């Protein structure tokens, strides 16, 4: 009962409180009508003003009164005429003037009635309607809108300097058990959790916890999820906001929002502030060019000042995420600000298995599913990609009205993620189908028989994606962080295998190898420009890479002579021609295996890994070809049956 009595006075659901603007508008209109009726019409008919009875008459009746000598004086205004009647009562007549009327003045002179002019505008009416009322109405509307916006967005004129609507404030339920594949990153942030749980223990010892932790890694690796897990484990408020939310067209708004964000976090301390896409506001000021961006720089300066202002009395930790750490301002990365950087990288095999298990926890899997096999097929993919694969597999199983998700559904989902959607409805002619079959067989043969290349998992001539008429699915056994020279050459050979197969077995090349040639050329260029793997440039680095996590990114303008440029072009051309001839020689050795693989592709359209390996193994056994794992040579004992590649 007591609680109910306390709540009742807070209820204000009547019409006036719900619609203050509408009530104010109705009141203003009624006031205007009242003033207009009273002042412009000279008062209501029959009223008495100053002892004189005022009577409203028509203009025609007023002229009749003048003609019958019942009027002693007439006052002519712009829109009305006032007449004073004769006799002791002195009735005042008022009529609206009919314009123009050239007979009125001659009539007055004929009847010897005195007349004059008067101003029929009331000064009070002009003041009220010309100045007071409009200002009053505008001020009332402005006050109402301001108070409403401040209430909804919290502070600042119209709330544009507030973060309440742009920030998510919560206590996440995410725990470290929900974050898989990032064991090293979890260990790095474990200390933050201990500090947030028991800040006094550290403060008494004089220890200083890192004020800012920067989570660095490629997109989709779980940086945001890790930040939520830190807050969830520490059981503290979590304020998350995107870096782009600070930037507006008004200078100073971003800085105001930074202050507002940190003030709210300090009130809830101990707490965590998480800023996603920090590079949106933390880009190096040296990259801004002449003049720079004043709004972004003010926002960055305010953030630097706020992080410096943190003390032991306000245990607030700032977590930020970015996939472009190389462009951040050095002032953000100095000790005392984001003085600890945690790499959240793409998961390894063990991490992928754990991530797949986490996302498959609520998915009904069939008994034949093998997540470890799936992890081998998804090397190089991030956590977000793996989550999407599990979801895509569940959708495929539902589309087929299955009761559980099978291993085939999971493999199909991987192919969709890597190669694109299967286009079974895309019809290609038998001639083109034969070209595609030889092309993909060439890729597969070279890939499977070249040391340092990726293993073949599947060969298909079913169109996928936007333009691919077929594909050879090559996946590495594990993530690679270093690539050796022979592995780069092997990748070039595999790319050239499709075109070489067309030339050898079709007798004419097609446009299907355009992307293969582009990628092969880029690899040779990178070997020369960046890695010092050529004789023409030696150990010289001719271009510098800027981006670490986005796969190359922008590069600086060329810093070498025209003569060197000509030598580079000649070397790239010669190197590609050399590898092309080597690939053709290898395909000549495996001609019978090529024909067998192509025939099966034309018949069943898809060959799995086991069948590809079997075709090549049977051929090598029959011909006595031995492939050594540490050598790129093929040894054939009978030169009439084959030759060294």
| Catalytic machinery residues | 440
Q: To 5 degrees, how large is the angle CA 71–CA 72–CA 74?
A: 80
Residue 53 CA to residue 363 CA, distance in Å, equals 93
Identify the DSSP state of 505: I
Q: Are 231 and 238 in contact (CB under 8 A)?
A: yes
Q: Are 306 and 201 in contact (CB under 8 A)?
A: no
Q: Which of 48, 35, 104 is nearest to 75 (CA)?
A: 104
Q: Are 285 and 329 in contact (CB under 8 A)?
A: yes
Q: What single string gives the DSSP state of each residue in 102-167?
A: TTHHHHHHHTT-EEEE-----HHHHHIIIIIHHHHHHHHHHHHHHHHHHHHH-SSGGGTT--TTT-
Q: Which of 319, 297, 320, 306 is nearest to 259 (CA)?
A: 306
Which residues, in sequence order, are CB contacts of 282 under 8 Å at separation 6+? Answer: 243, 300, 303, 320, 322, 328, 329, 332
CA distances from 324 to 125, 577, 597 (A): 67, 37, 44
Q: Are 343 and 300 in contact (CB under 8 A)?
A: no
The b-or-e profile of 505-524 (16+ CB within 10 A means b, else e) is beeeeeebbeebeeebbebb
Q: Which of 460, 450, 551 is nearest to 495 (CA)?
A: 450
Compute CA 172 distance to the chain's CA centroid, rounded to the nearest angstrom: 22
Q: Which helix (H) or strand (E) holds 575?
A: helix 562-589
Q: To 5 degrees, how large is the angle CA 582–CA 585–CA 587?
A: 110
């Amino acid at each position: 009962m007591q609680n109910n009595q306390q709540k009742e006075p807070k209820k204000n659901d009547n019409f006036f409180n719900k619609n203050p603007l509408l009530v104010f508008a109705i009141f203003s209109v009624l006031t205007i009508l009242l003033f207009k009726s009273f002042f412009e019409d000279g008062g209501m008919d029959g009223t008495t003003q100053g002892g004189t009875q005022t009577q409203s008459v028509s203009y025609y009746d007023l002229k009749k009164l003048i003609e019958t000598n019942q009027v002693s004086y007439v006052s002519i205004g712009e829109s009305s005429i006032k007449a004073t009647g004769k006799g002791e009562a002195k009735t005042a007549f008022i009529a609206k003037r009919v314009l123009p009327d050239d007979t009125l003045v001659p009539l007055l002179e004929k009847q010897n009635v005195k007349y004059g002019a008067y101003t029929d505008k009331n000064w009070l009416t002009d003041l009220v309607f010309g100045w007071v009322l409009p200002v009053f109405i505008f001020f009332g509307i402005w006050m109402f809108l301001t108070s409403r916006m401040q209430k909804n967005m919290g502070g600042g004129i119209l709330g544009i300097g507030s973060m309440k609507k742009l920030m998510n404030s919560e206590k996440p339920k995410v725990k470290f058990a929900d974050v898989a594949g990032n064991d090293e990153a979890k260990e790095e942030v474990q200390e933050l959790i201990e500090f947030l749980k028991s800040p006094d223990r550290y403060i008494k010892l004089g220890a200083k916890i890192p004020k800012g932790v920067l989570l660095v890694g490629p997109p989709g690796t779980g940086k945001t999820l890790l930040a939520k897990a830190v807050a969830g484990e520490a059981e503290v408020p979590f304020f998350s906001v995107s870096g782009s939310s600070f930037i507006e067209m008004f200078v100073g708004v971003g800085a105001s929002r930074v202050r507002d964000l940190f003030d709210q976090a300090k009130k809830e301390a101990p707490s965590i502030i998480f800023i996603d896409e920090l590079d949106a506001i933390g880009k190096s000021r040296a990259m801004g060019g002449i003049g720079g961006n004043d709004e972004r720089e003010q926002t960055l300066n305010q953030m630097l000042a706020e992080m410096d202002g943190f003390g032991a009395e306000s245990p607030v930790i700032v977590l930020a995420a970015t996939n472009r750490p190389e462009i951040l301002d050095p002032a953000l990365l100095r000790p005392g600000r984001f003085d600890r950087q945690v790499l959240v990288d793409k998961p390894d095999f063990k991490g992928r298995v754990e991530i797949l298990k986490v996302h498959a926890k609520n998915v009904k899997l069939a008994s034949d599913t093998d997540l470890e096999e799936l992890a081998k097929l998804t090397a190089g993919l991030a956590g977000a990609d793996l989550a999407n694969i599990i979801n895509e597999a569940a959708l495929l199983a539902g589309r087929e009205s299955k009761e559980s998700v099978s291993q085939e559904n999971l493999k199909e989902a991987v192919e969709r993620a890597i190669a694109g959607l299967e286009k079974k409805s895309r019809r290609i002619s038998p001639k083109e189908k034969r070209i595609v079959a030889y092309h993909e067989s060439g890729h597969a043969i070279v890939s499977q028989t070249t040391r340092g290349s990726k293993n073949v998992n599947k060969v298909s001539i079913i169109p996928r994606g936007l333009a691919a008429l077929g594909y050879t699915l090559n996946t590495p056994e594990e993530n690679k962080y270093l690539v050796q020279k022979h592995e780069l050459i092997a990748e070039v050979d595999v790319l050239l295998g499709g075109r070489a197969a067309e030339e050898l077995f079709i007798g004419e090349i097609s446009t299907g190898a355009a992307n293969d040639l582009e990628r092969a050329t880029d690899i040779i260029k990178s070997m020369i420009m960046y890695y010092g793997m050529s004789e023409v440039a030696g150990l010289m680095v001719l271009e510098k890479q800027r981006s670490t996590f986005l796969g190359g990114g922008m590069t600086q303008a060329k810093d070498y002579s025209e003569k060197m440029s000509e030598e580079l072009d000649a070397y790239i051309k010669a190197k590609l021609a050399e590898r092309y001839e080597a690939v053709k020689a290898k395909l000549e050795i495996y001609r019978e295996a090529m024909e067998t693989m192509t025939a099966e592709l034309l018949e069943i359209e898809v060959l799995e890994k086991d069948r590809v390996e079997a075709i090549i193994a049977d051929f090598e056994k029959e011909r006595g070809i031995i492939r050594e794992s540490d050598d790129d040579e093929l040894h054939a004992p009978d030169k009439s049956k084959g030759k060294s590649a």
